[in-house]
Amino acid sequence: MAKFYYYNKHVDNKGNHEVHSEDCSYLPNYDNRIMIGYENDCKSAIERAKRETGKTNFDGCWYCSFECHTG
């Protein structure tokens, strides 16, 4: 099921921007997130974020995007 995905503007302690779905309890505050867009899954959302930003440091949220969480 497709959802809106966002990433945190700020990097975590490992230098990654954490990717969250729209319904995540840990979705960053409005001022601290950037919308990726409507995607079918976190993998597609991360690929889109990489493509559109030129950055490679994205990681899925442990809670809402576990299948994309790398640690």
For residue range 13-23, what is the model confidence (pLDDT) as tens digits? 999 999 999 99
Predicted confidence (pLDDT) per residue in 46-60, tens digit: 999 999 999 999 999
Q: Are the C-beta atoms of 13 and 24 separated by less than 8 Å?
A: no
Which residues, including other chains, have CB under 8 Å from residue 29's CB and lie 6 or more apart? none
pLDDT (mean) for 31-59: 98
Q: Which two tokens stand for residue 40?
A: 């079918």
Average pLDDT, the chain: 98
Which of 3, 12, 31 is CA-nearest to residue 20?
3
